[in-house]
Structures are given as C-alpha cells and as structure tokens.
Amino acid sequence: MSFLVEMIEIHKYFPGVHALKGVSFDLAEGEVHALMGENGAGKSTLMKILSGLYQPDGGELKILGTSTKLNGPKEAQALGIGIIHQELSLMNDLTVAQNVFIGREPRHSFGVLNEAELNRKTTEIFSSMNLHLDPETIVGTLTIAKQQMVEIAKALSYESRVLVMDEPTAALNDVEIFELFDIIRKLKLKGVGIVYISHKMDEIKEISDRVTIMRDGEYIDTVDSKKTALGTIISMMVGREIQQTVFNVPDTSMNELALEVKHLNRGKYIRDVSFSVNRGEILGFAGLMGAGRTEVARAIFGADPKDSGEIKVFGKTVEINSPNDAVRVGIGYLSEDRKHFGLALGMDITSNISLASMKNFTNTAGLLDESVMKKTAQSYVEQLGIRTPSTNQEVGLLSGGNQQKVVIAKWLLRDCNILIFDEPTRGIDIGAKSEIYQLLEELAAEGRTIIVISSELPEIMRVSHRIAVMCEGALIGILKGGSEVNQEAIMKLATERPSPIHSLGA
Amino acid sequence: MDQVNKNMSSNSTRKLSFSVLTDKDMQQRILAFASLIVLLLFFSIASPHFMQMSNIIAILQATSVNGVLAIAATLIIITGGIDLSVGTLMTFTAVMAGVVLTNIGMPLPFGVAAAILSGALCGLCSGTLVAKMKLPPFIATLGMMLILKGASLVISGTRPIYFNDTPGFDQISRGSFIGDLIPAFPIPNGVVILFVVAGVTAFILSKTVLGRYTFSIGSNEEAVRLSGVNVDMWKMAIYSLAGAICGIAGLLIASRLNSAQPALGLGYELEAIAAVVIGGTSLSGGRGTILGTLIGALVMAVLTNGLRVLSVAQEWQTVVTGAIIILAVYADIVRKKKVN
C-alpha cells in the first residue's frame, strides 16, 4: 500500500484548549477511510490541518511520502487535496461549469472568457465520473445531491488525489446516497483516496475500508470497518468515564401531564414525533447534529410552521402558529444561538429581561415604568446569580453563562411553565455549566417542566429524568435517565436510522 | 473572603464598563455637535452677516421641515429599515390638507387632521408592505415614494393648491407666538413645532413600549419575535407613527409656502437620511438618538445657509454638502474602530 497522506502525532492548541493530542491518520490510494467521533472530538480540526486551513503545532504531515508544510488551502489544492464541506459553497446563480472553474476560467486574449472551453472541460470531468449533467445548468435548479456531485467535480478538477467529505449524506435521501456511493466507488477504482466523515454507522459499514476513531482530541484506534462490530466502534467513540456523581431521578410519574405532542410532522425534518412531559420533569433530547431536535423545539414553539400535529398544554389542545401563541400558553424557548435568537446584544440587561413581559411594566398611558423594571431585573440578577456590575450593563459584554441566565430570567419573568432549553451550555465554561445544571434542577423542583436539547451526552445524562433519542427527524426511543442509562445505549439509538419500512408505512 | 473578592472584581468592572458606555453614547453626540460648532465658528468668522439674528432665524426656519422629516426617518432607521418615501409623503399630506381646506372648504383643524391622518395611513401602508408582505424596506418605500408622488399630482391636477381662503394657515409655520410675547426672539412657530415633535418622539423612544421595541427590533428582530412579541404589529405601528410625523412636515411646508406644491418632495428623503446619518444613527439599526438627528439637520441647514451667505455658487453648495456627509460617516467609522 502506498500512502497518499500520513499524519503523524499531530498536535493543535487553541487558546485554552488542547484540541488535538497527538493524532495519527493515514490514507492509502483507492481507499475510503472513515473518521468517527462525537461532536467536538477533533475531526474537523484534523481535516482543517490536512486542507491547509490550520497549521499543526506539533507532529508531521507527509503527502505522497514527503514531509510537507501547508501554508494555506491553495497549497493543499495544488498538492491534490480537495475538501467538500458540509455546507456546500456553490454560487447558485452561475452554471455548473462556471462553478467548477471559478477563479480559473479559461480565457481568450484581453480577458475574454472562453465559455466553450469551459463547458468542454467540465463535460470531460463529468464523463470521468460517469455523471450525466449539462454543464450549462444553473446550479440553483439542481437537487442538493446533484450539487454535491458538482462539488466533487470541482474538487476533481484540481486533479485531487485526496478527497475529504464532511458528512456528505447529511442532506441526502436514500436514492441520492446510493448515487453518491456509486461515484465514490468509481473514484476508488481510479486510485483516489477518500476521507469520509460521518455519524451514520450503516454508511460507515457499507462504504469505508478502515475507520479511525477519535475522542476528545485523542487518537483511539484504527480498525477494519468490515470486521469490527458496531458496538465496539460505539464504545470506542464514547468510552469516557462514567459520571462521578450518581444522579437521583425524582419520581414525577404521578404529576399531571404538562405538555403532550402528538404526531408532529414537518417535511423531512420532523417525522411523526410524539411524546409527553410531566410537570416537574426534565426530558432530555439526545441525537447527533441534524437529527431534528431543534426543529421539534421550534415547531412546538411556533417559530417554524408545522405540517401536522397536535399539542396539548396541561390537557388542553392549543393552537400554536407563532412564538406569540406559544408564550401565551406558557411555553418559552431558549435558543441554541443566544446571540442571534435570544438576546438583543446591544441593549442592557433590564431591557432584555423585560423583552417578553413589557405589558407588566406599562401603565394605562402606555408609559414604561423604568424603576419597577430595574428592580425586577435586579431581583433576577440576585436570584440567578448573574455576575454584572449593574442592570444597565450591555448584554453583549457579559460572559456566555451570564448571558444564558439573562435569557432564563426573561422567561421566568414571563411566567413560562414549560421551558425548552436548546444547547443550554454551548459556549459556556465548565464552572458556569454546573451552575446552569443546578438551575435546571431547581426550576424542575419548583414544578416547571423542562425540555433540554443537548449534543453532549454527559450533559444529557447529568440532567435528564428521561432521555428521548432522535435520528433523522424521527424519535427512535425514550430511555429512563439516572443511573440506569449509559452512553452506549443512547448512541445506539442515535445512529439507528428509522427503518425504511416504518417510514414507508407512515 | 469570597464575598470580598466578588465585590472587588465587580467594582472594577463597574468603573471600566461605565466609561465604555459613556464613551459610546457621548462620542456619538459630541462628534456631530463639534462639527456644528466648527461650522458655526467658521461661518461667523468668514462673514459678519452670518451671526445676525435674522440669519439665525432663517437657519432654524430652514431646519424645521427637514428636521421633522429626519425625525420620521430616524424611527424607521432605528428598526434597521430605511424610508425613501418621507419626502413625497410630506407633499401628499400637504395636498390632502389642501383638498380638505381649499377644495372642500372645511375649517383649519380638519386640514391639520387630514394631513396627519393621511400620513399615518400611508405609513401604515409601508409598514404593512414591510411587516406582513416581507418586502425589503428599501423597495417598499421606493414604491410608496413613486405612488405618492404620482398621487399628489393626480389629486391636485398638477397645480398648486393655495390656502388663501384659510386664514391663519400660514401662521402654523411662519407666525411666532414667542415673538409676540418676547419681541427680541421672533422664533417662528415652525421651529417650535420641530422641537416639540423632537421632544415627544424622544420621549416615545425612551419611555414607551413602542420605543423599546423600536430599538429591540433594530437590534435583533428574530430574538424579539422569539420572545413572543408581535413584531409585525409593532413594526406597522412604528411606520404609522413615522407617517404621522411626515404629515406634520407636510403642514409645515404647506404653511410656509401658503400652498401645497404637488411637484415638490423628491430629494427631501435623501436630505432627511443625510441628517440622520450625520447625527450618528446607525444605518444597521438598533442605535440612534433624536438629539443626534436634530444636530444633523442643523448641520445641513447651517452649511447650506453659510455657503449662501459666502456667495458660493449653488452647484458648489451641493458638492460641499455631499462631501460633508461622506466625511461625517467616515469620522463615525473611525471612531467606532477606535472604541473597539
């Protein structure tokens, strides 16, 4: 076997984080090498080093057997390394051919474009991929799958011998995945090496030759995909220490039903999701990125339209078509992206906390009672322990944990009894994290109903009374939380694609 | 011990953040204000006629219409939008006042109501286009600008409507109740109206729900929507208020000319936006002050007036005005870079 790429003992540091701790990875000619790990394991960082976006802080990178230092994506391209990002980076209004050769358009003299040559060259690449596609088609009119093919063609046009595919099937349906795999097999025959990043176990089994597993920036092992049992790979991915403290789940099964969701549907994002949560209960939502957890939350909250489904709040069927409706029945949503969807960063703490409850502070003449507003904000600052010099502080200047507390205060003030937390500790340091967890427990103990969405399994296991696991828009199963649950059980459900028979039948 | 540490750290942050906050707010105003002072000094040294009472009154009088329009534009710009229709809406409301007073012959208060209500209604139209039909504000108000220009011409039969039959109409802008009381300060009513509109709008912006939502929407519309606020409704309210203020501007200009001139109005929207921008209001929304806008409008008026006093040719006045706008905004960008 001759290696196209060898990465040996690679280290990478970011401010405060040791992101890669001596990771090794190699790629042979004509091989599909899968790279697996949980969110945040360091896969993307490693691939950014391979594509020249990051420079390693230690270790060696060999390309075609020679030690190399890549000073940017251009140099990586020149050495035949192409990367296809999860979010496609095509210009929708240009043709397929114009996209493939963007920045390297064949020209006549005086800078006049040679469109004929452009289309001819593109057709050449397509035929080498056995792909039938008119080079003059506008990219925006193609399906996501076809756009992905165009990305691959673009990568190949650089005469790439190494292709990195970052979750290429995330947006594809079964037929399209089949087409993609067909192309991958053809590329293999031509000797192209492919790094395949995916969370989906069945795909790894089907398309890859070897799997390298990473966890928390560390290299775990490289194994043969066909010969290794799925369970072994999963336990290598999650093999973290079990929780230090055993978490006692309070019994809330006798409490009244707070929220019932029945047969919720929205396109391919949410497929027939049904569940219920009791008063005082914390229901965790686990799943990999793109599993549809946020979509479910947004649909319940009325932030996105839903196709069908019934929502009951404390036994009463409610019609929720906008966040306004949701708030009225006592549902609050704390977005994963606080900066875009949760806070007005340029405004002060007082304004942000009162944003959803302005009516409380308005007299009959429509004037705001600034002093009551400030006092209320101050009481929440004390109650939640928001660390700030004053309630006049601009929210943008607070730390992530304190910003999150401001959002929580906003919903507590609005008196929302059902709170949906989407990635409540994203971008929050470890100390503040445990504070947020404690806060969640206190809120539940007060009788509020909590839904927590998180991509971090330890977090889900730390706070959830029950754990709902989603994959590809469907709710696969609900597990009991506390000491009975383990990461392997969750991961198994999270990678279990809803069976085609089930989705056909639905 | 822990408590002590906490207190100490919070004290030091307090000092730091306090100075940052003050800097941001003050610098924005100081910059516009300083340029106003510089212009005033320059012109008063350059020409002995500039600082005379009659000329100062003329400057204030010239500020009144553009100032009121700029206040309307400020509201929209704080929401992160833009309003291109304020100029022709002003003319439209003047024509509506003319129809009610001269063509129908109703008494003065009805004309005032007609101008303000028709302004609010047109504002509501723009607001509906933006909030409900999701048109970009630029396009929605560009359309409204042309529709209103055409409508003014159609309704008036392309001829000016005079207010000779409505005694006292010209006093709305040109009269001076202050001058009647204190003859040494013959400040025209139009100027008083400008300051009243500015005061009321500043009050609405800082003390009412409407004002709070105006800033919130400009700061992060999606976050406001996800807080359960009916963003569409509030946006329509803001556009309506801006429209009503344009109606006041319509009354001011009609009163000053003692006629509704249907061909007038185009170009006023850009002068208004220029005043807002010079006043330091961010075109990306979420920040802005009425005081800044007032100063911006004064800068524009002082510039035009001063150059005229110095007998600079009109075509050169336009060039200088353009250069001042670019300079003002560039200075603002440099300042922001320094703050960051």
Q: Which residues of A touch B (CB under 8 A)?
A: 301, 303, 322-324, 326-328, 333, 335, 340-347, 351, 355-356, 358-359, 362, 366-368, 370, 387-390, 392-394, 397, 410, 414
A464 token code pair? 């959830």
Highest mean pLDDT among A86-100, A169-183, A293-307: A293-307
**What band does A240 get if pLDDT is binned at 50, 70 and 90?**
low
At A301 the pLDDT is 94
The nearest CA of chain A is from the CA of B226 a distance in Å of 6
At B134 the pLDDT is 94
Domain hosting residue A363, numbered range: 346-412
* Statement to judge: residues A459 and A436 lie in one domain: yes
Least confidently predicted of A20-24, A199-203, B66-70, B196-200: A199-203
How much is the CA Rg of chain B, to the nearest whole Å? 21
In 10 A of CB A190, how many CB atoms? Answer: 12
A172 token code pair? 């594809």
Give the residue carrying structure tokens 């319509």: B250
* Statement to judge: residues A429 and A311 lie in one domain: yes
* Domain annotation covers residue A447: yes
* Domain annotation covers residue A404: yes
B57 touches chain A (CB under 8 A): no
One-letter amino acid identity for B186?
P
* Domain annotation covers residue A223: no
B210 touches chain A (CB under 8 A): yes
% of chain A surpassing 70 pLDDT = 95
- CB contacts of A340 in chain B (<8 Å) are 220, 222-223
**What band does B201 get if pLDDT is binned at 50, 70 and 90?**
very high
Q: Find the length of chain B.
A: 340
How much is the CA Rg of chain A, to the nearest whole Å? 26
Q: Which of B11, B18, B220 sits opposite A345 (nearest CB)?
A: B220
The nearest CA of chain B is from the CA of A388 a distance in Å of 7
Which of B209, B226, B235, B241 would you mutate first to test chain A, the one with the most A CBs within 10 A? Answer: B226
Q: Do A324 and B208 touch (CB under 8 A)?
A: no
* Statement to judge: residues A285 and A383 lie in one domain: no
* Statement to judge: residues A396 and A467 lie in one domain: no
Full strand arrangement of the beta sheet holding A17-28: A66-67, A58-63, A3-14, A17-28, A218-224, A210-215, A32-36, A193-197, A162-166, A81-84
Looking at the DSSP bridge assignments, the partners of residue A20 are A12
Does position B21 have pLDDT exceeding 60, yes or no? no
CA–CA dist B33, A42 (Å, integer)? 53
Q: Do A340 and B222 touch (CB under 8 A)?
A: yes
B212 touches chain A (CB under 8 A): yes
DSSP string spanning A243-258?
Answer: -SSPPPPP--TTSPEE
B223 touches chain A (CB under 8 A): yes
**What sign does the dihedral B197-B198-B203-B204 (CA atoms) show?**
positive
* Statement to judge: residues A450 and A495 lie in one domain: yes
In 10 A of CB B170, how many CB atoms? Answer: 17
Q: How many CB pairs under 8 A join A and B?
A: 93
Does position B15 have pLDDT exceeding 50, yes or no? no
DSSP string spanning B151-165?
Answer: HHHHHHTTS-EE-TT
* Statement to judge: residues A393 and A452 lie in one domain: no
* Domain annotation covers residue A88: no
Under CATH, which number does the domain B31-335 receive?
A: 1.10.3470
Looking at the DSSP bridge assignments, the partners of residue A431 are none
CATH number at residue A448: 3.40.50.300
Residue of A nearest to B204 (CA): A367
Q: Do B10 and A356 touch (CB under 8 A)?
A: no
SS3 B260: strand
* Statement to judge: residues A290 and A393 lie in one domain: no
CA B104 to chain centre: 31
Q: Do B18 and A356 touch (CB under 8 A)?
A: no
* Statement to judge: residues A399 and A262 lie in one domain: no
* Statement to judge: residues A423 and A501 lie in one domain: yes
Number of domains in chain A: 2
Q: Are A363 and A369 in contact (CB under 8 A)?
A: yes
- CB contacts of A392 in chain B (<8 Å) are 21
- CB contacts of B287 in chain A (<8 Å) are 346
* Domain annotation covers residue A379: yes
To 10 degrees, the CA torsion angle through A194, A195, A200, A205? 60
- CB contacts of B229 in chain A (<8 Å) are 324, 355-356, 358
% of chain B surpassing 90 pLDDT = 58
Q: What is the mean pLDDT of residues A67-82?
A: 88
Could you tell me what percentage of chain B is helix, strand and coil, using 3-state DSSP and rounding each to the nearest 5? 75, 0, 20
**What band does A486 get if pLDDT is binned at 50, 70 and 90?**
confident
* Domain annotation covers residue A94: no
**What band does B3 get if pLDDT is binned at 50, 70 and 90?**
very low
Highest mean pLDDT among A11-20, A246-255, B56-65, B143-152: B143-152
Q: Find the length of chain A.
A: 506
Q: What is the pTM of this model?
A: 0.74
Least confidently predicted of A144-148, A257-261, B124-128: A144-148
Q: How far is CA B317 from CA B47, B235, B306, B311, B324, in A?
A: 16, 37, 9, 10, 11
**pLDDT tens digits, one per residue of B72-100:** 999 999 999 999 999 999 999 999 999 99
Q: Which helix (H) or strand (E) holds A470?
A: strand A466-471
At A166 the pLDDT is 86
**What band does B185 get if pLDDT is binned at 50, 70 and 90?**
confident
* Statement to judge: residues A499 and A429 lie in one domain: yes
* Statement to judge: residues A435 and A310 lie in one domain: yes
Does position A180 have pLDDT exceeding 90, yes or no? no
Residue of A nearest to B223 (CA): A341
- CB contacts of A388 in chain B (<8 Å) are 10, 13
B8 touches chain A (CB under 8 A): no
* Domain annotation covers residue A112: no
Q: What is the mean pLDDT of residues A51-68?
A: 91
% of chain B surpassing 70 pLDDT = 90
Does position A1 have pLDDT exceeding 70, yes or no? no
Q: How far is CA A141 from CA A95, A138, A404, in A?
A: 10, 6, 40
Q: Do B228 and A340 touch (CB under 8 A)?
A: no
* Statement to judge: residues A367 and A490 lie in one domain: no
